């Protein structure tokens, strides 16, 4: 269960306030794949950030199951994310000085999972990177980086995956393949995936579609 | 103009960064300027004290006056050069009161005396020319406290000197002219020079010393004028003296002090150069993409270069202004605090020339430290820049101009090519170690870490930080390099500081109050018994034998070179007496103020076979060009004595004990004709006078000099010097710590994005803190180790060259400064961490 209760987000740019989300209410009960669409700059990434607790809403509350995410402090948030949420960023955000394998392995090692290396290698293999595991991010192409980011988000088996345009940097063929794996695993593991995308075709493959428009979230189908 | 606009935007967007950058430079400049001015003041004020001792800029003195033709030439030569002039005649004569007769040292003075310094008399206060005119008009006499006591005189009483009866006009309370001008045999009195003839002393053949004092229009010319005067005056018995040789060991120490302060100044400047070079390099590294973008949209290389140059010049101006502002703010405090040092206003030192120098210096330091990275940046291909990378490595050659500048500065400030070079070389060695050995180690570490879980070795935070160290090579090297150079510099100062202070600090032993000499051999036993009976703290008398140095390793010695350093009156006397004359002594071993520095102890009493064993004072041996194992041949009253040098001694001359340059083993010189020297240890003024009376009554031939006043003056001056060194060292270390702090701080700020990612990975606050602590502890340890070791090595070498081998290892400083540095590291981390951790991930990622 994910719930937004009259959530607003305003950014302060100098002295100017930029209102991105306004009194947003939204409730998602079922597990499954959710697509979020909207124009560039409409606030899609912002929404994901709030949900993941990367940023605080200006007003309102966000609940995931029975936890009020917007009430947690930084260290509680960190713990909560580690065991519940996997994030795939628009800009990858891999740790530069760590190899692909290490990047994927880290979230497991943090929670003290055994066989972290084996598991990480397996996940990397599913995204087709078994021969790139010792490469550093600056030795990988954009698409490869994105696949490492995906592997990293999946490796802990989180309940919720937040993905911000994961196929944006990939060629159609690879993109499709990556999304295929993403969808299949999600269904298999009964995960909730919230996917921000510009790609209508991809959106249509999801269970439901929402659109951000005029600072609000509207159910499309 | 595009470059100007870009620079303007840069300042607007990153004002805080550039402010910090300028602050770093400012701190160094303030340190340098302050030390520079302070040094000028200290050395000036010390030099002033030493001119007071001579009581003029230049003095011509001898047992006879410069006369006839020579006098005319001298006065003609000096006419255009001097501002003030005075003559002094001094002699020993008996003084008679109603009840007593005693030897007096009589100084016949003239108007203007003393040209430099002052005399205070109980009845007049500080003496001026009116008082001296009065002294020349009426038969008045100013007496020293000893005379007052011995003759039991008070104002108005009569004291007969020669044929004239003088009336006591006052008691001398303070006299800057008395110290260091050789010890006086008898207490002094001042009378007018116009009465010299009437006393009829000179006509009866009493030996008188005649001195002409000059104050020069340009005191800095003293040395060259002295040389010229020496050409005019042919009689070698007449000496021309300048303040420099009025007290040789004093000027030697002032020289050390000045050079050392200069070095501290350079170090302060260097520290800030290290700081800004670090900040600048990390700045450029962050701006790679931006420069790439500028290039890709068609901004030319020269525009980019110009943009950076404009920034550098602006920073230079900003730092100069801040330096002046700080100087304005801080110097009055300093002046207040250091009042006793500065006769004038400290701020007078800050002239337009100084302002220009500060600006020039800030520009040079800026350009030289930023130039290497900048040139690497400009060579890059646009695509590499867009990836946020740098190709190729920083060529060490590019640092050559900076290194050369540093070298020149150290030589200039240390007044020594060798010491400047040692400094330079040491930093170069640090550079080499960090740039060659460390990368090799990091590469090996990196290979070992590949394919190993991050939680190994040891633990997750440890493994994590180890990877950061091994893989963030550029940052690791830059930081270790900057930190270790900083630590090296700080340690050098800290270590030298102690050595120099030790040189200036006297031994704990009580200082002598009275010097007794001309004690005849047959008197020694009586004297000992007498002093014991009267409870006079007499030290065991030391024998002294006149001799001549004939041969050195079998070769005939031409003449003894003039010695520097602390020389006793006896040695001065013997030098006057005979150029090759030396004083020998013998002793079974070292005394409390001596230390063996080379060779072995005496084997015992001379057996009569082979060469006798002799021990030399280290500096004396160095000047003589003699080493352990060499043979020396002396002539003692017609008998040749051959001796082998078995050891070199170091003498702590602040002990003021009778020390000899040449000491034989027992069993060689016992039968030679000799006299003895002895000292009476620290006693009160009253007791001194009492003892003097007793000794004069019972051993009339023994000469006694009261040295406590002189010793106290010297010790007080040394104390002030030691204090000055301490203050300046502290100043420099504070600058150093600030620079190290800003390096740490800027490095930590860059950890912001890293922290966001760590949070995303699920690391808890504690682990993130641990990772940073491990990483910085490692960097800091490596840097501290390299820096401390190098610092000690440099300090050792410098003190070997500077302080004639007096190196005192400063363990407390070593431990203290390392703990302080480490605490600084940890505290900076905690502080920055606290500030950052509460921010959410998006805030950390943005920026
Ligand atoms: N840290 C910030 N400070 C100020 N304004 C911000 C900040 N982050 C985002 N914004 C503004 O908020 C708005 C929404 O941004 P957001 O990144 O959520 O858009 P988006 O829908 O993800 O766009 P895109 O499809 O281009 O990724 C934009 O107008 C952006 O300029
Ligand atoms: Mg977005």
d(CA B579, CA B595): 28
The partner residue sitting opposite B761, judged by closest CB among A54, A56, A106, is: A106
pLDDT-derived band of residue B572, with 50, 70 and 90 as boundaries? very low
pLDDT tens-digit series, residues B334-386: 666 555 554 444 455 567 777 787 788 888 878 887 788 788 888 877 777 77
Cα(A75)–Cα(B769) distance, integer angstroms: 12
Contact A109 B460 (CB under 8 A): yes
B762–A78 C-beta distance less than 8 A: yes
Per-residue confidence at B166, pLDDT binned at 50, 70, 90?
very high
Neighbours of ion ligand 2 (CB under 5 A): A 45
Question: Measured from the CB, is residue A60 less than 6 Å from ligand 1?
Answer: no
Percentage of residues of chain B with pLDDT beyond 70: 80
- Name which of A72, A74, A107, A151 to mutate to probe chain B: the one with the most chain B Cβ atoms within 10 A of its Cβ: A74
Choose between B265 and B371: higher pLDDT.
Answer: B371
Q: What is the pLDDT of residue B141?
A: 93
Ligand 2 centre and the CA of A168: distance in Å? 11
Report the pLDDT value the prediction gives residue B668, as an integer from 0 to 100.
83
Q: Which residues does chain B have within 8 Å of residue A138's beta carbon, measured at their own beta carbons? A: 387, 389
CB of A19 closer than 6 A to ligand 1? no
Nearest to A156 by CA among A84, A220, A211: A84
Is the pLDDT reported for residue B191 higher than 90?
A: yes
Per-residue b or e along B658-678, where b marks 16 or more CB atoms closer than 10 Å to that residue's CB: bbbbbbbbbbbbeebebbbbb
B845 Cα to the center of ligand 1, angstroms: 13
- At B143, is the pLDDT very low, low, confident or very high (cuts 50, 70, 90)? very high
* pLDDT at B14 (0 to 100): 76
Task: Compute the distance between CA of residue B220 and CA of residue A27 in angstroms, rounded to an integer.
Answer: 91
Min CA distance, B765 vs chain A (Å)?
A: 6
Neighbours of B657 (CB within 10 A): 23
CA-nearest residue for atom 24, ligand 1, is A40
- How many whole angstroms separate alpha carbon A16 and alpha carbon A73? 27
Does the beta carbon of A11 lie inside 6 Å of ligand 1? yes
Yes or no, beta carbons of B765 and A78 under 8 Å apart: yes
Name every chain A residue with its beta carbon within 8 A of the beta carbon of B760. Answer: 54, 81, 87, 93
Residue of the CA atom closest to atom 3 of ligand 1: A11
Read off the tokens for A131: 């021969």
Q: Once rounded to an integer, what is the mean pLDDT over residues B56-69?
A: 75
Sign of CA dihedral A129, A132, A134, A135: negative
Tokens of A91: 């800009």
Q: Look at B845 and A93 and tell me if their CB atoms are within 8 Å.
A: yes
B819 CA from centroid of ligand 1 (Å): 47
Q: Do B761 and A49 touch (CB under 8 A)?
A: no
> Nearest 5 degrees, angle CA B547-CA B550-CA B552?
120
What token pair was written down for B179? 């110290």
Tell if the CB–CB gap between B762 and A111 is shorter than 8 Å. Answer: yes
* pLDDT tens-digit readout, B386-425: 777 777 766 767 778 887 887 887 777 766 677 777 777 8
In what order do the strands lie in the sheet containing A67-68? A16-28, A2-13, A59-64, A67-68
Q: Inform me whether the pLDDT recorded for B470 exceeds 60.
A: yes
Quick one: which H or E segment has residue B469?
A: helix B460-471
Pick the atom of ligand 1 nearest to A42's CA: 21
Q: Which of residues 93-152 of A touch B (CB under 8 A)?
A: 93, 95, 97-99, 101-102, 105-107, 109-111, 116-117, 134, 136, 138
Pick the residue whose CA is nearest to atom 19 on ligand 1: A41
What is the spatial distance between Cα A126 and Cα A151, in angstroms, rounded to a whole number?
8
Degrees, nearest 5: CA angle B173-B103-B188: 20
Interval between CA A9 and ligand 2 midpoint (Å): 15
**Span from the CA of B844 to the centroid of ligand 1 (angstroms):** 16
Give dist(CA B259, CA B706) in Å, integer.
34
A11 Cα: distance to centroid of ligand 1 (angstroms) = 9
Q: Do B455 and A97 make contact, defined as CB atoms within 8 angstroms?
A: no
Query: Does residue B247 surpass a pLDDT of 70?
Result: no
Buried b (16+ CB within 10 A) or exposed e, A28-58: beebebbbbbbeeebbbbbbbbbbbbbbbbb
Least confident of B594-598, B770-774, B782-786, B797-801: B797-801
CA distance B249 to B245: 8
Verify whether ligand 1 is closer than 6 Å to residue A41 (CB atom): yes
pLDDT attached to residue B732: 66
Average pLDDT over residues B589-616: 84
- Flag whether pLDDT at B265 surpasses 50: yes
CA separation, residue B117 to residues B56, B113, B114, B127 (Å): 8, 9, 6, 10
Across the interface, whether the CB atoms of A107 and B762 are under 8 A apart is answered yes
Q: B123 — phi, psi (to 5°)?
A: -85, -20
Which of B143-152, B199-208, B649-658 is most confident?
A: B143-152
Longest CA–CA separation in chain A, Å: 51
* Residues from chain A contacting residue B450 (CB–CB below 8 Å): 99, 134
Range with top average pLDDT, A107-111, B508-512, B713-717: A107-111
Position in ligand 1 atom list of the atom nearest CA A46:
18
Instruction: Tell me the pLDDT tens digit for each residue of B28-37.
Output: 777 777 767 7
CA of A197 to the centre of ligand 2 (A): 9
Give B43 Cα–ligand 2 centroid separation in angstroms. 68
User: Is B460–A79 a contact, with Cβ atoms under 8 angstroms apart?
Assistant: no
Predicted confidence band at B563 (pLDDT cuts at 50, 70, 90)?
very low
A91, A38 in Cβ contact below 8 A?
Answer: no
**Helices marked H in A40-168:** 44-52, 74-84, 100-110, 116-126, 142-154
- Provide the number of CB pairs (under 8 Å) joining chain A to chain B: 82
Q: Which of A13, A18, A39 to mutate to test the pocket of ligand 1 (most atoms within 8 A of CB)?
A: A18
Q: Is B375 in the pocket of ligand 1 (CB under 6 A)?
A: no
The reported pLDDT for the residue numbered B62 is 75
User: Which residue has a Cα nearest atom 27 of ligand 1?
Assistant: A40
Query: By 3-state DSSP, what share of chain B in percent is helix, strand and coil, each rounded to 5?
Result: 60, 15, 25
Nearest CA in chain A to B767: A110
Q: How far is the CA of A4 from the centre of ligand 1 (A)?
A: 19
In the reported structure, the alpha carbon of residue A45 is separated from the centroid of ligand 1 by a whole-number distance in angstroms of 7
Q: Given A49, A77, A97, which is nearest B467 (Cβ)?
A: A97
From B454, B754, B842, residue closest to A54, measured CB to CB: B842
Question: In this structure, are residues B652 and B594 in contact, taking their beta carbons and an 8 Å threshold?
Answer: yes
* Nearest CB to B841; choose among A54, A97, A101: A54
Please tell me which residue of chain B has the smallest CA distance to A93.
B757
* Strand duo B140-143 + B164-175: pairing: parallel
Answer whether B389 touches A (CB < 8 Å).
Answer: yes
Would you state the pLDDT for residue B142? 93
Looking at residue B797, its pLDDT comes to 82
Percent of chain B with pLDDT over 90: 3
**Ligand 1 lined by A40 (C-beta under 6 Å):** yes
Gap from A110 CA to chain B (nearest CA, Å): 6
- Tell whether the model's pLDDT for residue B38 goes beyond 50: yes
pLDDT value for B575: 44
Question: How far apart, in Å, do the first and last CA atoms of chain B sit?
Answer: 28
The beta-carbon neighbor of B840 closest among A74, A97, A106 is A74
Phi, then psi, of B572 in degrees rounded to 5? -60, -45
Chain A residue whose CA is closest to B469: A97
Q: Report DSSP state, residue B12.
A: H
pLDDT in tens, B311-332: 888 888 888 888 888 777 766 6
What is the rounded distance in angstroms from the CA atom of residue B500 to the CA atom of residue B249? Answer: 14
Query: Is the pLDDT reported for residue B21 higher than 60?
Result: yes
What residues of chain A lie within 8 A of the CB of B756, using their CB?
93
**Considering every ligand atom, which ligand is closest to the CA of B847?**
1
The chain-wide mean pLDDT, for chain B, equals: 77
pTM over 0.95: no
- Residue minimizing CA distance to atom 28 of ligand 1: A41
The half-sphere exposure of A169 on its side-chain side, counting CA atoms within 13 A, is: 19
Q: Which residues of chain A have pLDDT under 50?
A: none
* Chain segment B633-651, per-residue pLDDT in tens: 888 877 888 899 999 888 7
pLDDT digits (tens, 9 = 90+) for B204-236: 656 677 888 888 887 777 778 888 888 888 776
User: Which candidate from A79, A87, A134 shows the least CB-CB separation from B760?
Assistant: A87
């Amino acid at each position: 269960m994910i719930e937004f209760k009259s959530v607003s987000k305003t950014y302060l740019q100098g002295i100017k306030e930029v209102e991105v989300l306004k009194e947003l209410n939204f409730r998602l009960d079922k597990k499954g794949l959710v697509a979020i669409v909207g124009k560039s700059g409409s606030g899609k990434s912002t929404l994901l950030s709030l949900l993941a607790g990367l940023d605080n809403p200006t007003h309102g509350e966000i609940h995931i199951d029975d936890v009020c995410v917007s009430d947690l402090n930084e260290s509680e948030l960190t713990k909560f994310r580690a065991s519940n949420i996997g994030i795939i960023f628009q800009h990858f955000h891999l740790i530069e000085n760590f190899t692909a394998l290490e990047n994927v392995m880290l979230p497991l090692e943090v929670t003290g999972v055994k066989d972290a290396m084996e598991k990480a290698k397996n996940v990397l293999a599913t995204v087709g990177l078994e021969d790139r595991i010792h490469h550093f991010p600056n030795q990988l192409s954009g698409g490869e980086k994105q696949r490492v980011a995906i592997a990293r988000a999946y490796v802990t088996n989180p309940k919720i995956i937040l993905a911000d345009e994961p196929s944006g940097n990939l060629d159609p063929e690879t993109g499709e393949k990556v999304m295929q794996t993403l969808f299949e695993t999600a269904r298999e593991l009964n995960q909730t995936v919230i996917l921000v995308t510009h790609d209508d075709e991809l959106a249509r493959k999801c269970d439901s579609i929402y659109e951000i428009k005029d600072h609000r979230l509207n159910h499309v189908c | 103009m595009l470059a100007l606009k870009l620079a303007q935007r840069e300042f607007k967007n990153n004002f805080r960064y550039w402010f910090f950058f300028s602050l770093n430079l400012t701190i160094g400049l303030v340190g340098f300027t302050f030390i520079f001015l302070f040094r000028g003041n200290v050395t000036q004020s010390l030099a002033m004290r030493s001119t007071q001792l001579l009581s003029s800029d230049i003095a011509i003195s001898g047992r006879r006056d410069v006369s006839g033709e020579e006098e005319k030439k001298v006065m003609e030569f000096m006419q255009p050069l001097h501002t003030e002039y005075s003559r002094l005649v001094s002699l020993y004569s008996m003084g008679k009161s109603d009840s007593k007769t005693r030897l007096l040292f009589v100084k016949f003075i003239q108007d203007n005396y003393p040209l430099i310094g002052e005399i205070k008399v109980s009845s007049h206060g500080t003496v001026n020319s009116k008082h001296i005119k009065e002294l020349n008009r009426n038969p008045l006499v100013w007496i020293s406290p000893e005379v007052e006591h011995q003759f039991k005189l008070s104002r108005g009483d009569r004291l007969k000197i020669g044929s004239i009866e003088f009336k006591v006009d006052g008691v001398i309370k303070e006299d800057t002219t008395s110290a260091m001008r050789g010890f006086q045999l008898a207490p002094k009195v001042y009378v007018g020079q116009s009465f010299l003839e009437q006393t009829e002393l000179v006509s009866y053949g009493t030996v008188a010393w005649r001195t002409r004092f000059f104050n020069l229009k340009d005191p800095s010319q003293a040395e060259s004028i002295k040389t010229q005067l020496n050409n005019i005056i042919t009689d070698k018995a007449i000496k021309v003296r300048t303040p420099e040789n009025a007290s040789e060991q004093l000027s030697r120490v002032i020289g050390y002090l000045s050079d050392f302060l200069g070095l501290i100044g350079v170090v302060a400047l260097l520290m800030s150069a290290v700081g800004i070079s670090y900040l600048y390099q990390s700045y450029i590294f962050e701006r790679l993409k931006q420069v790439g973008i500028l290039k890709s949209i068609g901004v030319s290389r020269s525009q980019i270069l110009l943009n950076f140059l404009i920034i550098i010049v602006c920073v230079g101006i900003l730092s100069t202004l801040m330096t002046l502002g700080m100087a304005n703010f801080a110097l009055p405090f300093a002046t207040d605090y250091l009042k006793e040092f500065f006769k004038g206003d400290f701020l007078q030192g800050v002239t337009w020339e100084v302002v220009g120098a500060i600006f020039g210096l800030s520009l040079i330091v800026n350009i030289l430290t930023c130039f290497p990275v900048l040139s690497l940046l400009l060579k890059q291909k646009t695509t590499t820049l867009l990836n946020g990378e740098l190709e190729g490595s920083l060529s060490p050659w590019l640092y050559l101009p900076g290194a050369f500048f540093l070298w020149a500065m150290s030589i200039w400030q240390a007044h020594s090519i060798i010491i400047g070079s040692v400094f330079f070389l040491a930093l170069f060695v640090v550079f080499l170690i960090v740039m060659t050995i460390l990368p090799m180690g990091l590469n090996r570490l990196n290979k070992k870490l590949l394919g190993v879980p991050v939680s190994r070795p040891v633990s997750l935070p440890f493994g994590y930080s180890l990877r950061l160290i091994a893989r963030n090579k550029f940052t690791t090297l830059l930081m270790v390099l900057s930190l270790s150079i900083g630590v090296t510099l700080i340690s050098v100062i800290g270590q030298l500081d102690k050595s120099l202070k030790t040189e200036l600090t006297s031994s704990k032993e009580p200082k002598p109050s009275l010097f007794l000499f001309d004690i005849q051999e047959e008197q020694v036993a009586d004297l000992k018994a007498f002093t014991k009976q009267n409870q006079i703290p007499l030290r065991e008398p030391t024998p002294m034998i006149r001799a001549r140095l004939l041969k050195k390793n079998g070769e005939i010695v031409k003449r003894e070179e003039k010695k520097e350093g602390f020389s006793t009156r006896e040695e001065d006397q013997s030098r006057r007496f005979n150029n090759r004359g030396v004083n020998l002594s013998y002793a079974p071993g070292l005394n409390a103020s001596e230390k063996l520095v080379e060779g072995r102890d005496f084997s015992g009493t001379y057996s009569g076979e082979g060469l006798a064993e002799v021990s030399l004072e280290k500096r004396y041996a160095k000047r003589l060009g003699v080493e352990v194992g060499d043979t020396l041949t002396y002539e003692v009253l017609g008998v040749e004595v051959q001796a082998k040098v078995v050891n070199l001694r170091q003498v702590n001359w602040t002990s003021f004990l009778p020390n000899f340059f040449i000491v034989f083993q027992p069993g060689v010189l016992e039968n030679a004709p000799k006299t003895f020297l002895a000292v009476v240890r620290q006693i009160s003024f009253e007791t001194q006078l009492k003892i003097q009376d007793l000794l004069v009554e019972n051993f009339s031939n023994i000469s006694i000099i009261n040295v406590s006043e002189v010793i106290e003056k010297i010790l007080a001056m040394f104390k002030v010097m030691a204090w000055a060194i301490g203050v300046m060292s502290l100043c420099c270390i504070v600058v150093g710590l600030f620079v190290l702090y800003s390096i740490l701080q800027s490095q930590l700020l860059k950890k912001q994005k890293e922290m966001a990612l760590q949070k995303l990975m699920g690391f808890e606050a504690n682990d993130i803190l641990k990772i940073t602590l491990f990483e910085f502890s490692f960097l800091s340890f490596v840097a501290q180790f390299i820096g401390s070791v190098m610092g000690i090595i440099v300090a050792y070498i410098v003190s070997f060259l500077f302080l004639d081998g007096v190196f005192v290892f400063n363990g407390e400083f070593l431990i203290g400064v390392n703990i302080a540095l480490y605490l600084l590291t940890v505290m900076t981390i905690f502080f920055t961490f606290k500030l950052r951790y509460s921010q959410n991930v998006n805030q950390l990622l943005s920026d």
